[in-house]
Structure formats: C-alpha cells, structure tokens
Amino acid sequence: MSGFPQAKVAKLSNGQRHSSPYLSDFVGGKVFTVCPKCGLQRRYDAATLLERAGDHCLPDLLKRIAMAEGCPRVGDKDDGCTLHYDIERMHQQPLAQSRNGA
Ligand SMILES: [Zn+2]
C-alpha cells in the first residue's frame, strides 16, 4: 500500500459524505415522507424545500421535516417518530439530471 500518492481509500474512512444523498440531488422532483405511526404523509417539491430549509443530507432533513410538521412523537425516546422517506417513489420519478451553475 505504498507508492500511490492518490490513495482514494483514505477518504472513506472518516467522513462518509457521499453515502447520504442530499436534498439538492432531488431538485426537479418531489420528496415524499410518511410516518406510519402518526399517519402523516407529505409531499414536497424538492426545489421549494431546498429554498426553505437549505441543503441537508436526507437523514438530517428528515428531523427538520418532522419538527416542522409537528409530529407528536418527535423526540420521544420510547415511542419515537417513524417518519421516513418514501424512497421508492422518490426514485421512480424522473429527475432533472442537469445541474445549473456550480
Ligand atoms: Zn411521526
């Protein structure tokens, strides 16, 4: 494991930034969330949500959504909120792959 100055592997050990998708990855489509416990179902336009909440990785964003929607189980340690993304629906939709600017 020597002689290669550009060892990409070293990057992965610490921050796993690339494993979590960001809200900006879904711009051009919708973000679906559902909480079976509360019966909460929401659909957001990703671009609008990005403007309002900023760009967060999806797990982080989920907490913000749950709080914003007033899910009664947010922060409940024994019977926590089960709000999650309807990730299949999010991936089924056509997303604008082109990114404007940099
Ligand atoms: Zn909930």
- Say what the pLDDT of residue 100 is: 52
pLDDT, the chain, mean: 81
2 CA to middle of ligand 1, Å?
50
Q: What is the mean pLDDT of the segment spanning 26-42? A: 93
Residue bearing the bigger pLDDT, 18 or 13: 18
**Using N-to-C axis directions, what is the helix angle for 46-53 and 58-68, rounded to 10°?**
80
Q: What does the domain layout of the chain look like in residue ranges? A: 21-92
**Do 93 and 85 meet the contact criterion of CB atoms below 8 Å apart?**
no
**Does the reported pTM lie above 0.75?**
no
The residue ranking higher by pLDDT, 8 or 69, is 69
Return residues with CB closer than 5 A to ligand 1 (ion). Answer: 35, 37-38, 71, 73, 81, 83
